[in-house]
Amino acid sequence: MLLTLNKQLEKIMPLITPTSVVLGVLLAAYIKDFSYLIPWIFAFMTFAGSLNSNFKSLSDVVRHPLPIFAAMIILHILMPIWAWSVGHITFHDDIFTITGIVLGMAIPTGVMSFIWVSIYKGNIPLTLSIILIDTILSPLIVPYCLTFLIGEKIEMDMFGIMQGLVGMIVLPSVLGMLFNQFLKGSVTKKLSSTLAPFSKISLGIVVMLNGAVIAPHLKNINLKLISIILVVLFIAATGYVFSFLIGKLIRSDRDTVVSLTFSGGMRNISAGAVIAVTYFPAAVAVPVVVAMLFQQVLASFAGYSMSRYFNKKTLYINLEGVNKNEGI
């Protein structure tokens, strides 16, 4: 029953987050007081997602580190600077919105990228390794990335941000990997499949609670909110394009390109929303929560586009081989 439920939830992933945001805004008066549960629910999600990875998969991939370096450059150099640049062009006089846009791109890659990579048959060990490395380094990378790009223009609780990332992401991830490392494979696999549907349901709850917290900023649909939505959508979409092109540029195979595209395009947006809501003014959280509306939709479109691209390329190579044989 849980396996069937999980498959059904996977099919509707593109709808879960936007629907949860809308429900959070509509039910804000009733659920916003439960926002204190967000870090705990998120820690459970991270633990459940980390049960599929272990330290051995990391050691195997580290022997060929170029794709990992490429992913880290995309995640924490290219995209934050790109977001900062686009943010200043479009919202040059609004430091809160610019900070939210940069935060949305500075946070670590999404654990959900593993699911999309699995669906489109990418390099799973590479994806898990990127998630692991990025997760462990995030308490250092995220605050210093924000400090470098935003500086003293906005007050930030640096220690609080680090503490939040450690509690919500690093510790649950390490615990999940330790379970994978030391328990029997069948036990971990069963536990992972049991928790998988609850993890997806928890994602909806976290998004809904975050939506409730910033409801006042989303209820009034005005030109500025529409502008934020369009700019965040543009930046998020270009993340997939840049990641795909860089994967091709370093001459990666198909599986690695798929992994880099999802790892570089997706973000742990729920964690970003929790950080924004907890440690920043509410206005900073608006661009981050807005990104929840279409992250899964963009991931679905990216997977569909890559599938078509590689299928056409395979067909072309096969036809070329047939033509050569006929020529012989």
At 85 the pLDDT is 96
For the chain, strand residue ranges (E) read none
At 238 the pLDDT is 96
User: What contacts 131, CB < 8 A, 6 or more positions away?
Assistant: 49, 53, 108, 109, 111, 113, 114, 173, 263
C-alpha span between 198 and 142 (Å, rounded): 28
Give the dihedral of Cα atoms 270, 273, 274, 278; nearest 10 deg.
180
Q: Over its length of 328 residues, how does the chain's per-residue pLDDT go in tens digits? A: 777 887 787 777 767 777 888 888 889 889 988 888 888 887 888 788 778 766 666 676 677 789 999 999 999 999 999 999 999 999 988 999 999 999 999 988 877 787 788 778 788 778 878 887 887 888 888 888 888 888 766 666 667 777 777 787 778 878 888 888 787 677 888 888 888 888 888 878 887 887 787 777 677 778 888 999 999 999 999 999 999 999 999 988 899 999 999 999 999 887 788 788 888 888 888 898 888 778 877 888 898 899 889 888 765 555 555 455 555 4
At 231 the pLDDT is 96
Tokens representing 14 are: 């593109």
- Domain spans, the chain: 28-327
Give the dihedral of Cα atoms 7, 13, 16, 21; nearest 10 deg.
160
At 328 the pLDDT is 47
C-alpha span between 169 and 45 (Å, rounded): 9
64 C-beta neighbours (distance < 10 Å), count: 10
CATH T-level topology, domain 28-327: Na+/H+ antiporter like fold (1.20.1530)
At 201 the pLDDT is 86
C-alpha span between 258 and 112 (Å, rounded): 14
